[in-house]
Homo-oligomer: A and B are copies of this chain.
Amino acid sequence: MRHALRVGLIVAFVAGYGLYVRADEGMWPLNRFPSAALKQRYGFAPTPQWLEQIQLGSVRFAGGCSGSFVSPSGLVMTNYHCVVSCVSALSDEKRNFQQSGFYATTAADERRCPGMELNQLTAMTDVTERVAAATKGTEGERFRAARTAAFATIERECATSDDLRCEVVTLYRGGKYDLYKYRRFQDVRLVFAPEFDTGFFGGDPDNFMFPRYNLDLSFVRAYDGGSPLKPTQWLRWSPNGAAAGDLVFVTGHPGTTSRLYTVAQLEFERDVRLPIHLMFYSELRGLLTEFRRRGAEEARVADAELVFVENSLKVLRGEFSALADRSLLERKRTDEAALRRELAGSRFQQRFGGAWNAVAAAAERRRTGWPRFAAFSRLTGSELFAQAQTLVRLSAEQAKPNEQRLREFSEAALPAVRQRIEASKPYSNELETVVLAHILTHIREQLGLDDPATKALLGSRSPDEVAASAISGTKLRDASARVALMKGGASAIAESTDPLIVLARAVDQYAREARRVLEDEIDSVVDRNAELIAQALFALRGDRVYPDATFTLRVTYGTVKGWTEGGREVTPFTTLQGLYNRHTGSAPFNLPARWLERKAHVALDTPFNLVADTDIIGGNSGSPMIDREGRIVGLIFDGNIHSLGGEFWFDASKNRAIAVDSRGIREALRSVYQADRVLAEIDGH
C-alpha cells in the first residue's frame, strides 16, 4: 500500500536533490517532463493538451494520497486505503461500513468525509530568483528565517481566497523554487467503498507482495457550492486495458525520496532514525493488536489505525533492509567518492568541494538533535492532542507577522488549519488513551525521567494516568468546543483548564526549542550545503535530472512487466480466479459473503492486479495508471517489496509498482457490487 500516511513521518523531511537518470527512472514535474527522451525511447511524446489533461485530471488528497477525476460530475477514483478513515468516521456501532462496504445508490446517499480535502493543481510559477534575492548572503539560522519569510510572503500574495492553496516547493534542494497553486475542495463525499476485507484483502502479509489480489478501490465526489463539481478535465476509461510490454504512465503525488542523500545522511537513517521508528511502531502495533481483542467495537475503531501502523512498519523495515545491505551502501559510497574525485579535478572544487564534510558534520549533530525533536513530534499521533497543539500554537502564531510564523501557520496555510479544527468526526476515548499513553512513555524514554519536559508533561504521575485523565477530561472531541477556543484566541487558550490544552501548553516551549535547534542549528547547514551538492551535480553532469519527491504532482513512465525473483519469473498479471483461490475464510484472506454468492456471475479470467516498472513511492496511492492516449488502465495501490529501497535508489530490474487492473475494477463493480450508477458515470452514460 503506497500511501503517504502520517505526514509527520513519511513526508516530513523532504530531500529535493537532483538525480542523474538511467533507464525509465524518474518522477517528473509536469513543467520539466523529458519529452525528448521519451520520444527517443518509445516514439511517443505527449502534446501540451495531453499534459494539461493529466494535470487538471489529477487530484491530491491533502492527507497524503493521489486520485483522478473520472467523470464530468466530479467523481474521483482513489484507493480504499485512502478513504478508510472516512469509512471509519461514518461508521458507528450500529452501521459498520467497514464490514458492509458503502455504496450510495442515489446522489442523496453520498456522505461527506470529515476533514477530507482535495487539491487540484492549477498553476506552477518559477520563483527561484525571488527566493534567492531574499536569502542572499545569509547562512544557517538567518538563511532559514529569510527563506521562511520569503515563502510566507509569496504564498500569501497567491492565496487570495480560502478556495486556494499556495505552496512554494523546494526542488533540487533549492536549485529551483516553484510556486504551486491549487484549487481546494473541502466538501468531499463518499460514493463507493468495498468491504474492509476486500479493500485490504491479503492484509499485512500480502502488503508489498505480488502476485496480488486486492480491490484497493474507492470513489468519492468533489462538491462545489453544494452541487457536484464540474471539472474541466477528467480521465476516460480504456476499453481494453494494458498488455504486457505496453508503455504506461502514472500521475500522482509521491511524498518523499532521499536518493541523493550523502553516505553520512544514509548512515544517520540506518543508525538513528529508522531504528527509533521501528521500535516505536512495533510497540504500537502490539498495543493495537491487543486492543482490538477487547471486543468488536474496539476492533472497529482500531482497524484503520492498525493498517496504517503495519504499513508504516513494512515501509520502514524495507528501508532499513536496503541500508543494511552492505553491497548497496558500498555502491553508494563508491558513487559518492567518484563524484567528489571528479569535482576535485574540476574548476568547481573551490565552490562546492567542502559541502560533503559540512553535511557529514551536521549529520553527526543530528544524532542527538533529531531524537529529541522526534519525541515531541510523536504527540500529534494522538488526534485529540494534535487538536490541542494546533489550538495552542495557532493562538500564538497568529499574533506574529506572517513571515515570522512557523511555516504551517503562515497566512496561506490558515484555511486548511481552520478546516481541521472545525471538522466533526468521532474519536474513541479508549483508543486515544492507549495511543497517548504510548507516546508519553516513549517521550519519557527518549528524554529521560528527570528532563524538564518529561516533568512538565507527567509531574509525579505515570503516562497511563496522565493520558487517561487528559482524554477523559477534555472537551476537544466536540468541534464546537474547539471552534470556541479558536475564536477566543490567546486569552481563551491561556485561561483554558481543558486538560489537553493544559498539557499542550506545558510542553510547547520544550517542543519548540527542540524544533528550533534541529531546524536552525542543524538542518539549515544541511540545506545550504545540499544545495551546493546539487549545483555541483548540475555543473558536472548536465540537466537531465529529476528532483526528489516533494508531495507534488509528478509523472513517471515505464512498461507493464514482471521481474525475476530467485530465478523464477513473476508474470505481470493476476486474475479474479486467483482471488477466489487465495480465499481461506480466515482474515485477512476472507472474501465477504457477497463475493461468494455472486461468484457464478464473475468472469474469472478477468485481469485483476498488474505490475509495471514505473517509478513510484508513498503518496502515489490512488494514482491512475494511463496509456499513451491518456486513458485509465489501472489504479496504483502498492509497490513490490523491492520498491521500498526506492526511497534511496531505483533498481530498474526489480522495483515494480502494483495496480488494480481497470478491467478487474469494472468486472467487480458490475458482477459483484452491481454498482450500476458508478459504472454508468465512468462510461459517460
Contact B282 A206 (CB under 8 A): no
**Contact residue among B278, B287, B364 (Cβ-Cβ distance under 8 Å from A290):** B287
A123 CB → nearest B CB, Å: 45
CB-CB under 8 A from A275, the residues of chain B are 275, 278, 320, 324
Contact segment of A31-39, A458-466, A659-667, A673-681: A458-466
Most buried by B among A267, A290, A462: A290
The residues of B that contact A586 with a CB separation of less than 8 Å are: 460-462, 465
A449 to B438, CA, bound (A): 30
**Contact A272 to B460, CB < 8 A, known contacts A282-B286, A290-B290:** no
Give the copy number: 2
Chain A residues numbered 186-236 whose CB sits less than 8 Å from any CB in chain B: 205-206, 209
Give 16 CB contacts A-B under 8 Å.
A205-B445, A205-B449, A267-B326, A270-B271, A275-B275, A275-B324, A278-B282, A286-B289, A286-B438, A287-B289, A290-B290, A290-B291, A460-B584, A460-B585, A461-B584, A465-B586
Contacts of A206 in B (CB 8 A): 449
Contact code string A262-290 (vs B, CB < 8 Å = 1, else 0): 00000100111001001110111111111
Instruction: Tell yes or no: A434 within 8 A of B by CB.
Output: yes
Determine whether A9 belongs to the interface, using a CB cutoff of 8 Å to chain B: no
Is residue A107 within 8 Å, beta carbon to beta carbon, of the partner chain?
A: no
A603 CB within 8 Å of chain B: no
Residue pair B286, A290 in contact (C-beta under 8 Å):
yes
In the assembled complex, the Cα of A465 lies from the Cα of B270 at a distance in Å of 36
Interface centre among A209, A317, A462, A589 (most CB of B within 10 A): A462
**Complex contact A462–B286 (CB within 8 A):** no
Q: Contact between A444 and B205 (Cβ–Cβ < 8 Å)? A: yes
- Tell me which residues across on chain B come within 8 A of A460, comparing CB atoms: 584-586, 589
Residue in chain B with minimal CB distance to A291: B290
Asked if A133 is an interface residue, CB under 8 A from chain B, the answer is: no
How far, in Å, is A325 (CB) from chain B's closest CB? 8
| Centre residue among A288, A326, A461, A589 by max chain B CB count within 10 A | A326
Cβ-defined partner of A294 (8 Å) among B205, B280, B282, B294: B294
Closest to A465 in B: B586
List the B side residues contacting A540 at CB < 8 Å.
Answer: none
A12 within 8 A of B: no
Interface string of A323-360 (1 = CB under 8 A from B): 01010000000000000000000000000000000000
Q: Is the CB of A271 within 8 A of B326?
A: yes
**Of B209, B272, B284, B461, which one neighbours A286 at CB under 8 angstroms?**
B284
Q: Which residue of B lies closest to A281 (CB)?
A: B282
Which of B271, B278, B280, B290 is the one whose CB lies under 8 Å from A434? Answer: B290
A587 is an interface residue with CB less than 8 A from chain B: yes
Complex CA–CA separation, A280 to B291 (angstroms): 18
Which residues of chain B are near A291, meaning CB under 8 Å?
290
Q: For the complex formed, measure the closest distance between the CB of A286 and the CB atoms of chain B, giving whole angstroms.
A: 2
For A283, the chain B residues whose CB sits under 8 A away are: 282-283, 285-286, 289
The CA-CA distance from A434 to B267 in the complex, in Å, is: 36
**Whole-angstrom distance from the CB of A621 to the nearest CB of chain B?**
22
Known: A320-B275, A324-B271, A449-B206. A462 touches B285 (CB 8 A): no
Bound complex: CA of A475 vs CA of B283, how far in Å?
Answer: 32
Which of B287, B288, B587 is in CB contact (< 8 Å) with A462?
Answer: B587
**A306 → chain B, closest Cβ, in Å?**
11
Closest-by-CB residue of B relative to A284 is B286
Not counting A270-B271, A282-B286, a sample of 20 additional A-B residue pairs whose C-beta atoms are within 8 angstroms of each other reads A209-B449, A267-B326, A271-B324, A278-B278, A279-B282, A280-B282, A282-B282, A283-B285, A283-B289, A286-B286, A286-B288, A286-B290, A287-B287, A289-B290, A290-B290, A290-B434, A294-B294, A461-B586, A462-B586, A462-B587
A461 to B585, CA, bound (A): 8
Of B272, B286, B326, B444, which is within 8 A of A324 by CB? B272
Q: Which residues of B contact A461 (CB under 8 A)?
A: 584, 586
CB of A540, distance to nearest CB on chain B (Å): 28
Complex: A275 Cα to B275 Cα, angstroms: 7
List the B side residues contacting A284 at CB < 8 Å.
286
